[in-house]
């Protein structure tokens, strides 16, 4: 692996960039691995990286049915924040943000973590109550989050309309200054490069068709498009397709898969300094470093595996954006796309051992797992390596749906009288 | 100024001059010109600067696929938009246009300095640098990168224009009105089906507009076109121009955007700027044609370098010569035709450079006839001219290598690398593609939709071929719709079919590392960048695309995808299909946000639901709040009152006399049928079997997880009819949930559900004088404690109106809810208001309702519960039937964590120092612990209580019901507040006030 530094950049520039080497090789499967990870998204690649780096486990393969980072990792709107309500979530996401802040240096790959602040808007009394609850809880958890008046919101994000004549006037907002965005592809590539440099095989275009088990029930390996691969441990991080993969090991997951859509505008000069989210009207927005407005919507109404959402939802999302930011009405949408997100009943993830010995799962990230990539991957690697929960992921078990010990982040979004 | 307009050519109206400005300078064009054609007619090629290197750029195309000539367009205040393609924007008198991404001006741009640091700014360089020192990223590098990025500037004012949306249903939608689409439309329409034919261009005709010399069935192509349009119209075909199909969705739904005013100088009143069409077509024919491919060579991006087919379009459609001394560089026959057209129009074509060794003899003789020099087996290795191409270097190709060069002066370089079928919409259907090695391109294969793709879109060339193919597509869809039709014969002369070879980068005499051969013009991606990406391990086209940004510009890869793929495949030494094709994503061309939002702006963003009594509240000075889609009166201030004083007065008056409240927004569902009671038993936690007709009961609804989802009073109107009320916000959700269970879990139950929320106006009367006020108005029920006790319901008349009367109380006072047919709501309200005057009546809003119910410890679902609260947590175990076999949530309720000993219970809180707590504030047992603190609950409701003379609060606290009287702490940023845990019922714990005193004379 060629290290990226100023010297190498210049040296290569002078030699017409002909001497850069590949960031990860095109690996073909070996017969056997200590750990096979299904899904080369940020979560799967990250887990492989930390397995190799922190646990010395390098006989690892990450297998993807497509190309690495081509799932939700490469499709998301990259909002990173940690102002979640419950202690369990706050710990996990804050751990993640801690890792984000050093990730570029850690990976020697610029993931462009941009601490530009995430502002969540309140449009009704219920929002205000809910944000107040979050802000107080965050303060006592040591997580940054504060209340802004409508005028302060406008000062922080000048394109915002705080007109009191709006259909849903802005009543204030919750700001997490430490939050922001990152470059999604770079996260996948940076982890892939780091993992590959430590000996991990990244096997692309190789669908895992089944998890095979020993007669005693424990994991034996995976059937793939390129044949059977033996594995001492199998870890699944396949986002919207996790339930399908896990079913082949007779593990039924409480997941529903929905299309989630996002879009970008044509690029313009900097106009939008931060990230703004509005749950009441269902839209969120930021501006990429390239200049595009990056806009996300809520999930489609119906469950589906097709990475293709409907038009009405997009219309609603754009209407919501132009309602809050009327000046963008004449901007143009450049492209839109969808990903399949895996949603749990309590809207929190599952990072867990499973009833099948040596089978692990990291899924259920739904609409918000990009931000958790480093933290979840880091603790998932621990769980895989040590066959025990990490203190931070321990509450995110699969059993909680049986015991009822839920981490219900969606709950606070219930609607009032 | 020299003019490049050619007399007698083109379809523009030279008799109708139009003036507009570009960067402040006035230009004249003709009616029918685009900004690009008008500027080209004035000899202007330089129209923009590229994204990364700020290189000078001119138009490469004449259509919506343009990557370079992007401009700002402005009409007036609030009517500015960036990144408009000069090649499609029609000119009108007064149009203001500006170039973009330059400083200080288009001709001299400081940003072009990036061009010299080219080697440094290679593909993916962002990922490799800007990491040291760490905090520089946030403060220095990122702001710098962001400033450099972007093309135009965002609008900054509110858009005064309006946008519309419409639905359209048709038998057949045909996208693209070139020869294929026209022939398809006729064949389908003749068969008697209803056809809609659309085109993104100003007029129909597609490629025919650039080919006036062709003859179709003996007619010059333009005459044939005109006649054909007349006959299509007479066959009832709906023809829509300036209309782009932007996306193809499930079940043959197409989104289309029609541009209505961007070409007009004077805006007709009340005309929307654009209209979004939602089309459901039984059959769709895609006839979008093909796009010409640029060639990739050093300096192929200079202003004056353009696609040959586009030059032909500028000549034949707009009567503009893009250069007087053009040179052609091509690997395809079609550019030869362009050369001939230009030569025939008076251009001095300096040479036709063709990379191929052999070219059709007929073409060569035609060139010879016109005196055009030919250089076969030659390449272009360089272009020069700072702001416009002034000469090129042409070199012979020998064994794939470029030999010694020869300089040819010129004022335009017209290129063609062949043609690529337009597969964008086909691709939206998730249609599969197959690689065609002969044509070096992808062709359409299967699609899951009822969609036929025809003509050049599926790799057929020549007008005659596509006419025939279009016609048979038309016949096919007519037959699919059960109609008969026939293809017509089409005979085309001067039809140039042409062939060519596909090229990767042209051979060069430069060290390949130094060549700036652009693939994605706008994003400044060169062939070298693509090869670098491959070298660095990017093996799929998606990786290459993302690493280099090839294909991510505003033309969405229309110019760059296929060249990018061919080069990447070459670098990988793999066949193209193994490298893949990036997915085409909607919209087909960039589409105005306003068109998506349509009517949903301002007040219409989401409909505001108002009750029948809302107007009274408005007239009487109510302050409103949004609750879901409803607006509800929050309080009714009298002169000089703020919210607290108004609410205090409303509470006091209601408890002392009587208050009137508009409860019409409550959800209402009529549950009817022989199995209604069984259904209710299964849905709600409470038992319903023994509830007598004429009685009502507070019902609690759980999710299957055992947590509270909704609540409301439910009256049994008769044996088989329940009048269910839900929370305002929960109405739709509860209805959906009920239907879901009924249809999927219990289809055996004989029950009908009807949402009646909007059928009833509901007025609540509460207070000691409520019965006295109401009794004289009621017919059919005697309002005594014996005849109509608390929790009764009845059908009766109130003030002469048919009503459903409930005796219920959400305040702890004597209470009634009167439901009358919705339109009578205001009349009833006014009658009660009048009648109430002598009793000292007050109107109250949601805020007072909240305070009064909190004083009684009544919960609000969604405020005091949050989806994690069981009935037991809320102190409402009494509402859970103990002997029912099953109800929704019963199993969930038995899960270990839901019966654990450390659950959070709903309790009352009274602060020790009498301060009012903040809703949402967190609660701890030990206020002295360090952060992160162990939180044990939060304040859910908090008000000043007039009745108690102090603030009260409800809270969820760990084990709260076992901690009565204990002190908990609420750490605020500035201080910690101590509060005592109490019962949730603050006022009248014995509930004595709901009784109508016996013997009271009514
Ligand atoms: C439109 C959109 C916007 C979003 N916005 C945000 C946001 O702003 N902030 C945020 O935090 N999160 C956001 N998310 C969510 C976030 O993208 C995901 O939670 C996160 O990226 C999941 O990462 P992952 O590595 O688990 O999954 P993925 O990146 O999806 O990786 C899973 C991989 O598994 C592979 N796979 C599946 N089945 C198989 C199989 N049988 N065999 C082999 N491989 C298989 C897939 O090909 C895929 O590459 C968004 C998601 C979408 C779709």
Name every chain A residue with its beta carbon within 8 A of the beta carbon of B707. 411
CA angle (B35, B9, B294) in 5-degree steps: 55
B331 shares its domain with B241: no
> Percentage of chain B surpassing pLDDT 70?
99
**Parallel, antiparallel, or unpaired: how do β-strands B290-292 and B419-421 relate?**
antiparallel
The residue of B72, B132, B150 whose CB has the most chain A CBs within 10 angstroms, and thus the best one to mutate to test that interface, is B150
Sequential pLDDT tens for chain A (417 residues): 788 888 888 888 888 788 889 999 999 999 999 999 999 999 999 999 999 999 999 999 999 999 999 999 999 999 999 999 999 999 999 999 999 999 999 999 999 999 999 999 999 988 999 999 999 999 999 999 999 999 999 999 999 999 998 889 999 999 999 999 999 999 999 999 999 999 999 999 999 999 999 999 999 999 999 999 999 999 999 999 999 999 999 999 999 999 999 999 999 999 999 999 998 888 899 999 999 999 999 888 888 887 778 899 999 999 999 999 999 999 999 999 999 999 999 999 999 999 999 999 999 999 999 999 999 999 999 999 999 999 999 999 999 999 999 988 876 553 323
Residue B148 lies in a domain: no
pLDDT range class, residue B73, cuts 50, 70, 90:
very high
Q: Does the distance separating the beta carbons of B120 and A10 come in below 8 Å?
A: yes
Q: Is A55 helix (H, G, I), strand (E, B) or coil?
A: helix
B506 shares its domain with B524: no
Query: What are φ and ψ of residue A127, in 5° steps?
Result: -55, -45
A372 Cα nearest atom in ligand 1: 11
What CA–CA distance (Å, rounded) separates B426 from B434?
13
- Nearest alpha carbon, ligand 1 atom 13: A368
Q: Is A352 helix (H, G, I), strand (E, B) or coil?
A: strand
Question: What does the DSSP assignment read for A166-235?
Answer: SSS---EEEEETT-EE--HHHHHHHHHHHHHHTT-EEE-S--EEEEEE-TTSSEEEEEETTEEEEEEEEE
B440 shares its domain with B545: no
Check whether B124 has a pLDDT greater than 50.
Answer: yes
Is the peptide bond preceding residue B771 cis, with omega within 30 degrees of 0?
A: no
**To the nearest 10°, the Cα dihedral for B918, B920, B921, B922?**
160
Asked if B370 and B343 touch (Cβ cutoff 8 Å), the reply is yes
B954 shares its domain with B972: yes
CA B368 to the chain's CA centroid:
55
- Nearest alpha carbon, ligand 1 atom 44: A64
Residue spans of beta strands (DSSP E) within B251-334: 253-259, 274-286, 290-292, 305-307, 326-330
CA angle (B299, B300, B305) in 5-degree steps: 120
Interface of A with B in 118-147 (CB under 8 A): 123-126, 129-137, 139-142
B703 shares its domain with B615: no
Ligand 1, residues at Cβ distance < 6 Å: A 38-44, 63-66, 70-73, 75-79, 207-208, 237-239, 241, 245, 260-262, 296, 339, 341, 365, 367-371
Interface of A with B in 29-58 (CB under 8 A): none
Which of residues B619, B638, B660 is at a domain's end?
B660
Partner A contacted by B602 (CB < 8 A): yes
The domain spanning residue B54 has which CATH number? 3.10.20.440
- Indicate the DSSP class of residue A4: -
What CA–CA distance (Å, rounded) separates A96 from A373?
7
**To the nearest 10°, the Cα dihedral for B626, B628, B629, B632?**
-40
CA angle (B845, B850, B856) in 5-degree steps: 130
Asked if A377 and A235 touch (Cβ cutoff 8 Å), the reply is no
- Helix (H) / strand (E) element for A33: namely strand A32-38
First to last CA, chain A: 59
Distance B944 CA to ligand 1 centre (A): 48
Q: Does the distance separating the beta carbons of B920 and A204 come in below 8 Å?
A: no
Check whether B102 has a pLDDT greater than 90.
Answer: no
Q: Residue A13: left if φ>0, alpha if ψ -120 to 50, beta else—which one?
A: alpha
- For chain A, domains (ranges, CATH) are 20-78+184-253+346-413 (3.50.50.60), 118-177+257-343 (3.30.9.10)
Least confident of A40-49, B398-407, B982-991: B398-407
Interface of B with A in 61-80 (CB under 8 A): 79-80
Q: Residue B959: left if φ>0, alpha if ψ -120 to 50, beta else—which one?
A: left
List the domain range (segments joined by +) for residue B37. 13-125
**Parallel, antiparallel, or unpaired: how do β-strands A32-38 and A227-236 relate?**
parallel
Q: What is the mean pLDDT of residues B543-567?
A: 95
Asked if B550 and B557 touch (Cβ cutoff 8 Å), the reply is yes
CA angle (B689, B694, B696) in 5-degree steps: 65
Residue B153 lies in a domain: no
B674 shares its domain with B774: yes
What CA–CA distance (Å, rounded) separates B243 from A91?
52
CB count within 10 Å of CB B678 equals 17
Enter the tokens of residue B105: 């001006």
First to last CA, chain B: 98
- Indicate the DSSP class of residue A25: -
- The structural domain count of chain B equals 7
Picking from A124, A174, A132, the residue whose alpha carbon sits closest to that of residue B919 is A132
Tell me the nearest-neighbour CA distance from B250 into chain A, angstroms.
7
Check whether B137 has a pLDDT greater than 90.
Answer: no
Residue B493 lies in a domain: no
Q: Is B714 helix (H, G, I), strand (E, B) or coil?
A: strand
Enter the tokens of residue A131: 């944000």
Asked if B668 and B757 touch (Cβ cutoff 8 Å), the reply is yes
Q: Which residues, including other chains, have CB under 8 Å from residue A156's CB and lie 6 or more apart? A: A117, A119, A148, A173, A175, A273, A274
A44 Cα nearest atom in ligand 1: 25
B199 shares its domain with B298: no
Residue B204 lies in a domain: yes
Residue B867 lies in a domain: no
Partner A contacted by B269 (CB < 8 A): no
Which of residues B461, B490, B512 is at a domain's end?
B512
Is the peptide bond preceding residue B587 cis, with omega within 30 degrees of 0?
A: yes
The domain spanning residue B548 has which CATH number? 1.10.10.1100
| Cα B283 to Cα A312, B174, B452, distances in angstroms | 21, 9, 8
Asked if B131 and B79 touch (Cβ cutoff 8 Å), the reply is no
Asked if B676 and B860 touch (Cβ cutoff 8 Å), the reply is no
Tell me the nearest-neighbour CA distance from A34 into chain B, angstroms.
25
Residue spans of beta strands (DSSP E) within B205-359: 215-216, 219-220, 238-240, 243-249, 253-259, 274-286, 290-292, 305-307, 326-330, 351-354
Enter the tokens of residue A330: 């004449």
Check whether B342 has a pLDDT greater than 90.
Answer: yes
Residue B597 lies in a domain: no
Query: Chain A: residue nearest B273 by CA?
Result: A330
Distance A376 CA to ligand 1 centre (A): 13
**Parallel, antiparallel, or unpaired: how do β-strands B48-49 and B56-57 relate?**
antiparallel
Asked if A172 and A149 touch (Cβ cutoff 8 Å), the reply is yes
Q: Is residue B821 exposed (0-12), middle (13-18) or buried (19+ Cβ within 10 Å)?
A: middle
Q: Which of A44, A238, A336 to mutate to test the pocket of ligand 1 (most atoms within 8 A of CB)?
A: A238
Give the nearest partner residue to B919 out of A129, A167, A308, using CB atoms. Answer: A129
pLDDT score at A415 = 33
What CA–CA distance (Å, rounded) separates B388 from B411?
7
Check whether B1001 has a pLDDT greater than 60.
Answer: no
Q: Does the distance separating the beta carbons of B430 and A137 come in below 8 Å?
A: no
pLDDT score at A319 = 96
Strand order, beta sheet including B659-662: B778-779, B792-798, B801-807, B815-821, B760-766, B659-662, B842-843
CA B755 to the chain's CA centroid:
30
B974 shares its domain with B847: no
Name every chain B residue with its beta carbon within 8 A of the beta carbon of A20. 532, 535-536
Q: At what angle do helices B179-190 and B221-234 cross, to 10 degrees?
A: 30
Q: What is the mean pLDDT of residues B709-717?
A: 97
Tell me which residue has tokens 């739709």. B732
The residue of A144, A269, A324 whose CB has the most chain B CBs within 10 angstroms, and thus the best one to mutate to test that interface, is A269
Enter the tokens of residue B982: 């109490």
| Cα B9 to Cα B220, B320, B413, B963, distances in angstroms | 14, 8, 21, 93
What CA–CA distance (Å, rounded) separates B501 from B960?
81
Mean pLDDT of chain B: 95
Asked if A231 and A34 touch (Cβ cutoff 8 Å), the reply is yes
Residue spans of beta strands (DSSP E) within B362-504: 374-376, 378-384, 391-398, 401-402, 406-409, 412-416, 419-421, 433-436, 441-444, 451-453, 492-493
B715 shares its domain with B634: no
What CA–CA distance (Å, rounded) separates B304 from B306?
6
Least confident of A10-24, B131-145, B420-434, B571-585: B131-145
Name every chain B residue with its beta carbon within 8 A of the beta carbon of A125. 625
Residue B921 lies in a domain: yes
Enter the tokens of residue A207: 């669908």
Asked if A300 and A309 touch (Cβ cutoff 8 Å), the reply is yes
Interface of A with B in 154-183 (CB under 8 A): 159, 165-168, 183
The domain spanning residue B183 has which CATH number? 3.50.50.60
Residue B873 lies in a domain: no
The domain spanning residue B898 has which CATH number? 2.40.30.110
Partner A contacted by B154 (CB < 8 A): yes
Tell me which residue has tokens 């606070």. A412
Query: B837-893 pLDDT, tens per residue?
Result: 999 999 999 999 999 999 999 999 999 999 899 999 999 999 999 999 999 999 999
Is the peptide bond preceding residue B520 cis, with omega within 30 degrees of 0?
A: no
Give the nearest partner residue to A291 out of B151, B532, B728, using CB atoms. Answer: B151
What CA–CA distance (Å, rounded) separates B412 from B320?
13
pLDDT score at B1 = 41
B830 shares its domain with B751: yes
B430 shares its domain with B554: no
Distance A41 CA to ligand 1 centre (A): 6
User: Which comes out higher in pLDDT, residue A132 or B514?
Assistant: A132
B331 shares its domain with B449: no
Q: Does the distance separating the beta carbons of A108 and B863 come in below 8 Å?
A: no
3-state SS track over A301-338:
CCCCCCCCCCHHHHHHHHHHHHHHCHHHCCCEEEEEEE
């Amino acid at each position: 692996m060629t290290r990226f530094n100023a010297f190498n950049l210049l040296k290569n520039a002078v030699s017409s960039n002909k001497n850069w080497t590949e960031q990860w090789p095109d690996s073909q499967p070996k017969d056997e691995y200590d750990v096979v990870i299904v899904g080369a998204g940020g979560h799967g690649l990250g887990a492989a990286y930390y397995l190799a780096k922190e646990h010395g486990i390098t006989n690892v393969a990450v297998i993807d049915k497509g190309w690495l980072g081509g799932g939700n990792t490469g499709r998301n709107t990259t909002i990173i924040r940690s102002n979640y309500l419950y202690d369990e979530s706050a710990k996990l996401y804050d751990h993640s943000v801690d890792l984000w802040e050093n990730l570029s240096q850690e990976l020697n790959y610029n993931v462009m973590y941009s601490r530009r602040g995430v502002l969540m808007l309140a449009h009704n009394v219920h929002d205000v109550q809910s944000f107040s609850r979050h802000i107080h809880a965050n303060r006592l958890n040591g997580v940054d989050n504060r209340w802004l008046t409508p005028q302060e919101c406008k000062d922080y994000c000048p394109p915002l309309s705080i007109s009191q004549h709006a259909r849903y006037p802005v009543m204030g907002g919750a700001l997490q200054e430490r939050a922001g965005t990152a470059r999604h592809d770079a996260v996948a590539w940076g982890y892939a490069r780091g993992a590959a440099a430590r000996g991990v095989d990244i096997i692309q275009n190789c669908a895992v068709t089944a998890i095979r088990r020993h007669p005693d029930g424990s994991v034996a390996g995976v059937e793939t498009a390129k044949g059977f691969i033996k594995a001492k441990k199998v870890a699944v991080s396949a986002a919207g397709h996790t339930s399908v993969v896990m079913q082949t090991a007779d593990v039924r997951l409480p997941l529903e898969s929905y299309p989630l859509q996002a879009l970008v505008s044509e690029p313009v000069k900097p106009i939008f300094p931060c990230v703004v989210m509005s749950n009441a009207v269902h839209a969120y927005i930021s501006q990429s470093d390239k200049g595009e407005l990056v806009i996300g919507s809520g999930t489609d109404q119906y469950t589906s595996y097709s990475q293709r959402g409907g038009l009405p939802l997009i219309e609603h999302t754009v209407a919501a954006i132009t309602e809050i930011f009327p000046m963008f009405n004449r901007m143009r949408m450049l492209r839109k796309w969808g990903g399949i997100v895996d949603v749990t009943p309590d809207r929190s993830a599952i990072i867990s051992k499973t009833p099948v010995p040596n089978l692990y799962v990291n899924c259920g990230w739904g609409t918000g797992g990009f931000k958790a990539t480093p933290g979840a991957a880091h603790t998932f690697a621990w769980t895989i390596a040590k066959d025990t929960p990490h203190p931070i992921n321990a509450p995110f078990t699969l059993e909680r749906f049986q015991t009822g010990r839920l981490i219900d982040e969606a709950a606070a979004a219930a609607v009032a009288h | 100024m020299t003019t490049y307009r050619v007399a007698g050519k083109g379809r523009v109206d030279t008799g109708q001059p139009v003036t507009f400005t570009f960067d402040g300078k006035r230009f004249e064009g003709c009616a029918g010109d685009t900004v690009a054609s008008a500027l080209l007619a004035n000899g202007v090629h330089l129209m923009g600067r590229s994204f990364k290197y700020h290189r000078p750029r001119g138009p490469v195309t004449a259509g919506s696929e343009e990557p370079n000539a992007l401009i700002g367009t402005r009409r007036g205040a609030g009517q500015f938009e960036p990144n408009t393609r000069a090649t499609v924007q029609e000119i009108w008198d007064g149009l203001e246009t500006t170039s973009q991404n330059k400083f200080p001006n288009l001709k001299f741009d400081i940003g072009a300095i990036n061009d010299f640091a080219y080697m440094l700014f290679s593909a993916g360089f962002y990922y490799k640098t800007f990491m040291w020192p760490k905090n520089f990223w946030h403060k220095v590098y990122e702001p710098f990168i962001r400033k450099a990025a972007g093309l135009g500037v965002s609008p900054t004012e509110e858009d005064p224009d309006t946008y519309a949306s419409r639905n359209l249903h048709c038998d057949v939608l045909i996208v693209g009105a070139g020869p294929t689409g026209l022939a398809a439309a006729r064949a389908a329409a003749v068969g008697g089906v209803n056809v809609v034919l659309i085109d993104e261009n100003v007029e129909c005709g597609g490629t025919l507009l650039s080919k006036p010399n062709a003859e179709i069935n003996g007619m010059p192509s333009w005459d044939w076109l005109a006649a054909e349009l007349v006959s299509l119209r007479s066959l009832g075909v709906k023809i829509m121009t300036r209309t782009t199909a932007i996306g193809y969705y499930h079940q043959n739904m197409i989104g289309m955007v029609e541009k209505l005013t961007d070409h007009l100088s004077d805006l007709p009143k009340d005309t929307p700027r654009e209209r979004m069409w939602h089309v459901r077509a039984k059959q769709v024919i895609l006839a979008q044609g093909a796009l010409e491919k640029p060639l990739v060579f050093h300096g192929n991006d200079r202003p004056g370098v353009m696609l040959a087919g586009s030059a032909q379009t500028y000549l034949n459609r707009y009567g503009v010569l893009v250069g007087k001394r053009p040179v052609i560089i091509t690997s395809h026959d079609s550019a030869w035709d362009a050369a001939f057209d230009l030569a025939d129009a008076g251009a001095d074509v300096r040479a036709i450079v063709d990379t191929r060794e052999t070219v059709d003899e007929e073409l060569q003789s035609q060139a010879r006839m016109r005196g055009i020099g030919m250089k076969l087996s030659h390449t272009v290795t360089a272009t020069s001219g700072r702001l416009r191409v002034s000469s090129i270097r042409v070199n012979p190709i020998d064994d794939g290598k470029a030999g010694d060069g020869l300089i040819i002066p010129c004022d335009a370089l017209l290129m063609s690398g062949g043609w690529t079928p337009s597969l964008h919409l086909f691709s939206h259907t998730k249609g599969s593609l197959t690689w065609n090695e002969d044509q070096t391109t992808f062709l359409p294969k299967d699609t899951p939709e009822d969609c036929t793709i025809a003509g050049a879109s599926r790799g057929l060339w020549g007008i005659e071929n596509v006419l025939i193919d279009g016609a048979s597509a038309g016949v096919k869809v007519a037959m699919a719709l059960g109609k008969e039709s026939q293809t017509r014969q089409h005979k085309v002369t001067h039809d140039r079919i042409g062939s060519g070879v596909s090229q990767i980068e042209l051979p060069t005499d430069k060290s390949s590392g130094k060549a700036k051969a652009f693939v994605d013009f706008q994003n400044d991606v060169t062939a070298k960048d693509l090869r670098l990406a491959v070298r660095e391990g990017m093996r799929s086209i998606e990786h290459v695309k993302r690493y280099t940004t090839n294909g991510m510009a505003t033309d969405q890869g229309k110019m760059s995808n296929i060249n990018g793929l061919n080069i990447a495949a070459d670098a990988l030494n793999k066949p193209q299909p193994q490298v893949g094709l990036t997915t085409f994503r909607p919209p087909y061309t960039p589409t105005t946000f306003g068109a998506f939002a349509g009517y949903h702006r301002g007040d219409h963003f989401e409909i505001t639901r108002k009750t029948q009594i809302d107007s009274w509240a408005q007239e009487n000075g109510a302050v409103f709040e949004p609750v879901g889609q409803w607006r509800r009166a929050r309080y009714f201030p009298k002169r000089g009152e703020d919210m607290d004083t108004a609410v205090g007065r409303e509470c006091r008056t209601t408890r002392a006399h009587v208050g009137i409240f508009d409860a019409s927004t409550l959800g209402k569902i009529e549950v009817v049928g022989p199995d209604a009671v069984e259904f209710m038993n299964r849905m709600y936690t409470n038992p319903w079997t023994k509830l007598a007709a004429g009685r009502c009961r507070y019902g609690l609804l759980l999710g299957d997880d055992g947590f509270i989802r909704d609540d409301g009073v439910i009256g049994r109107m008769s044996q088989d009819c329940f009048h269910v009320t839900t929370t305002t916000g929960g109405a739709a959700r509860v209805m959906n949930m009920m239907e879901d269970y009924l249809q999927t879990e219990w289809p055996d139950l004989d029950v009908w559900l009807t949402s009646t929320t909007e059928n009833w106006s509901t007025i609540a009367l509460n207070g000691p004088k409520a019965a006295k006020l109401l009794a004289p108005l009621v017919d059919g029920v005697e309002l005594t404690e014996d005849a109509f006790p608390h929790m009764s319901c009845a059908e009766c008349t109130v003030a002469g109106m048919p009503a459903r009367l409930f005796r219920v109380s959400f305040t702890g006072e004597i209470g009634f809810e009167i439901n009358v047919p919705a339109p009578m709501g205001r009349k009833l309200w006014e009658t009660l208001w009048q009648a109430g005057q002598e009793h000292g009546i007050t109107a109250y809003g949601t805020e007072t309702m909240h305070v009064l119910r909190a004083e009684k410890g009544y919960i609000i679902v969604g405020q005091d519960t949050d989806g994690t609260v069981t009935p037991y947590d809320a102190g409402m175990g009494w509402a859970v039937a103990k002997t029912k076999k099953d109800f929704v949530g019963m199993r969930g309720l038995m899960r270990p964590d839901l019966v654990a000993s450390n659950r959070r219970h709903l309790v009352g809180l009274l602060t020790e120092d009498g301060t009012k707590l903040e809703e949402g504030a967190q609660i701890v047992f030990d206020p002295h612990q360090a952060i992160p603190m162990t939180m044990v609950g939060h304040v859910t409701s908090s008000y000043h209580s007039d009745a108690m003379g102090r603030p009260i609060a409800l809270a969820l606290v760990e084990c709260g019901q076992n901690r009565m009287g204990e002190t908990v702490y609420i750490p605020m940023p500035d201080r910690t507040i101590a509060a005592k845990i109490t019962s949730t019922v603050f006022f009248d714990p014995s509930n004595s006030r709901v009784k109508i005193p016996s013997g009271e004379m009514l």
